Structure 1
Amino acid sequence: MRTLVARLDNDGDVLLAGPAIRAAAHAGEVVLLCGHSGAQAAALLPGVHRVVRWDCPWIANPAPEVRTPDVEGIVALLKGIRADVAVILTSFHQSPLPLALLLKLAGVPKVVARSTDYPGSLLDVRLRDDPDVPEAERALEVARAAGFELPPGDDGRLAIIPPPEPAEIGPYVVVHPGASVPARAWSPDRCAEAVTALAEARHRVLVTGGPNETDLTRHVAGADGVDLGGRTTFAELAGLLARADAVVVGNTGPAHLAAAVGTPVVSLFSPVVPARRWAPYGPHVLLGDQDAPCRGSRARECPVPGHPCLDRVTADQVVTAVADLVGVRT
């Protein structure tokens, strides 16, 4: 049995597909189709035999142009995989049907997905409902509809392969100030205040970020934190998070990476998407006004002056939340 699992979003979305992928892997070989923005996470997931990268024009942001040669190329690639079944995992606002069409053109005999729109012959198994549950559970339901179940002893939590040991020696708290969507990030000044407050509370604070976030991490770390911006790979970040007492982060990939390694999260969560679906799938404290005017807007840039849903959160609230979480692990 060879199963193609498609999750075409960012690293955090791919991590949330982990339990569904492990269920499919229990029945045979899994090929994971993901975008380049999700490939770092894909490399860490148990049960993945092969990763195929494709930036889908109706999923990626910014979206690439739709060109006939590219579409013909992905159909040929999918045909070459020779999958027995394809499981398409999408967010609640995405349609699986364009990809289902390509999979049918590639000759995949069984395609399974959740779709509120009528799929005609594009889906062989269709889940019509859209349950208001954590995204990892929602994805696992699609895998189960395809006939897959988790192996005995698998509790369905997020998981990755063992990460490398970090060079940093604990105890410490990690603050990750960046986010792939600006509306989901706490302001740099608020993050810097939190680093100072955590240091005053006798925590060693490590500030992490990607190679394009070094100015941000330098500002946030200031004189009280250790600036690690641009100095870790995604796998090394996983190792760093795994040894942390807690992680302070917005709704972005490292929040789900922390959950996957069992580390509790202080989640600075903007309500542009629902927390009940996208909050870290593990121990966490949720901070931020979940009834703010931006609620459910899916905005990438904050539509409300002053970013009040997050910037009304104080550094003292973060310190209290960290204190509540230290020692709470999965």
Structure 2
Amino acid sequence: MRRVLVARLDSMGDVLVSGPAVRAVAAAAEVVLLAGPQGAAAARLLPGVAEVRVLAAPWITPTDRPVDGALVAEVARTVAETGVQEAVVLTSFHQSPLPLALLLRLAGVRRITGASVDAAGGLLDVRLIPGEDLPEELPEPLRALRIAAAAGFVLPEGDDARLAAELPERPLAAGIDPYVVVHPGAAVPARAYPAERCAEVVELLADRGHRVLVTGGPDERALTARVAGAAGIDLGGVLALAELGAVLRDADVVIVGNTGPAHLAAAAGTPVVSLFAPVVPAERWAPWGVPVELLGDQEAACRGSRARVCPIAGHPCLASVSPEAVVEAADRLVGAAA
């Protein structure tokens, strides 16, 4: 079976929403998934991935790495070692596949597919043009599937195009079923529900009889401890990504902002209360393929700004959502699944 390089060079959530496209390629070829450092752990969870390679791409995510001969040589070495002769470059609407396409072409990759507003010349053999033959408002999983399909890769019959992840058993939370997960952090501050509101959500959920687990990364321990308080169970900094996915899989519902664990919850098949700041469009980035309650003022002044820090005093798009509304949304999802 031939080997095809599928590239998705940004964050964990971006890699997870590319999962259906990866499966489409994997139905006809061995997939070498080229991920960035922030997305590599998620890449290892995707069904259909034969091998994961990591590349810190300075045109995609912030990095101190220069664009120099060492970068060119690294891409060439990856191509030579993996034996790929074809590549599918997956990007979001604001990214370009062309820098990577250039490096892959220099490395000898014969056929490259991507979506580019800019003319690609000889860098892309198959080019989709966003806004013309690639609609602008597609959800990210469908956008990636369109790019894969243009390269000739489609999902096999019976694949529902939902997100998926290969997750382990769940020893850490064993014995406390059922439970709800609150994940208060976000990689981008503008997308985070205020911590004091998260703490109120935990207390209200506990008052209604829910067990509440509060999750977060190693750098979010202070946040998760504050949010869990005396009413929740603090798992901040305890779980590796695969273990987090297993905890999310076995939850009744996950309450989370627009951040990677929202897509991990969707890949685990769990309903999501999505506290969604409109700095990016919900129609593209809301959790895909699971029941979702979308909260947050989607018409707020920050809409479409892609701001990393909220540009509006008081963070009204999310601060306007009451803890009571969050808990009611969670109860609706739990009730619907019962």
Q: Same fold (TM over 0.5)?
A: yes
Q: Which range moved further: 112-121 or 162-171?
A: 162-171
Residue deviations 1:282-312, cap 9 Å, x none? 2111000101111101111111111111111
Residue 222 (structure 2) pairs with residue 215 (structure 1): yes
Alignment partners' CA distance in 2, 1:15 and 1:305 = 32
- Asked if the contact 1:87–1:146 (Cα under 8 Å) also holds between the matched residues in 2, the reply is yes
1:73, 1:156 → 2: CA distance?
Answer: 33
1:165 pairs with 166, 170, 179, which one?
170
Instruction: Tell me how far apart the structure 2 counterparts of residues 206 and 75 of structure 1 sit (CA, whole Å).
Output: 45
CA spacing shift, 1:307–1:63, aligned 2, 3 Å: farther
Cα displacement (A) at 1:63: 5.4
Q: Distance in 1 between matches of 2:325 and 2:65?
A: 41
3-state SS of the aligned residue for 2:236? coil
- CA drift of 1:70 comes to 2.4
Match of 1:307 in 2: 315
Once the two structures are superposed, the pairs formed by residues 199-278 of structure 1 within 5 Å of their partners are 199-278=206-285
1:207-240 CA distance string (max 9 Å, x none): 0001111000000001111101011111111111
Q: Which residue of 2 aligns with 1:10?
A: 11
After TM superposition, list the pairs within 5 Å mapping 1:85-164 onto structure 2. 85-129=86-130, 130-131=134-135, 132-164=137-169
Would the aligned equivalents of 1:201 and 1:319 in 2 still touch at CA under 8 Å?
no
**Structure 2 gaps, min length 5:** none
Contact 1:242–1:258 (CA<8 Å) still a contact in 2? yes
Could you tell me whether the CA contact under 8 Å between 2:53 and 2:78 is conserved in 1?
Answer: no
Using the alignment, how far apart are the partners of 1:100 and 1:289 within structure 2? 38
Whichever residue aligns with residue 151 of structure 1, its letter is P
- Calculate percent identity across the aligned residue pairs: 60
1-side partners of 2:50 and 2:259: how far apart? Answer: 26
**TM-score w.r.t. structure 1 length?**
0.97
Alpha-carbon distance in 2 for matches of 1:4, 1:262: 27
Structure 2 SS opposite 1:228:
strand
Counterpart of 2:321, as a letter, is V
2:44 matches 1:43:
yes
- After superposition, the Cα gap between the structure-2 partners of 1:63 and 1:142, relative to the gap in structure 1 and judged at 3 Å, is farther
What residue number does 1:286 align with? 294
Residue 75 of structure 1 is matched in structure 2 by: 76
One-letter code aligned to 1:296:
G
1:295 aligns with 2:320: no
TM-score under structure 2 length normalisation:
0.95
How far is 1:60 from its partner? Answer: 1.2
**How far does residue 40 in structure 1 lie from its aligned partner after superposition?**
1.2
Contact kept? 1:264, 1:328, Cα under 8 Å = no
RMSD after superposition: 1.2
The question of 1:196 aligning with 2:194 is answered: no
SS of 2:255's equivalent in the other structure is strand
Q: Which amino acid aligns with 1:85?
A: E
Distance apart, 1:152 and its partner CA: 2.3
SS at match of 1:139: helix
Cα separation, 1, equivalents of 2:266 and 2:171:
17
Contact 2:75/2:104 (<8 A) preserved: no
In structure 2, distance between residues paired with 1:80 and 1:243: 39
**Per-residue deviation at 1:327?**
5.2
Aligned-partner Cα distance in 2 for 1:152–1:84:
26
Q: Which runs of 4+ in 1 moved over 4 A?
A: none
Q: How many residues align?
A: 329
Residue 59 of structure 1 aligns to which amino acid in structure 2? I
Displacement of 1:133 after TM fit? Answer: 1.3
Matched residues in 2 for 1:108 and 1:327: separation? 51
1:33 aligns with 2:38: no
Deviation at 1:91, TM superposition (A): 0.7
Which letter maps to 2:9? L
Distance 1:84 1:78 in 2: 8
Q: Partners of 1:62 and 1:124 in 2: how far apart?
A: 29
For structure 1, which runs of at least 5 residues remain unmatched after alignment? none
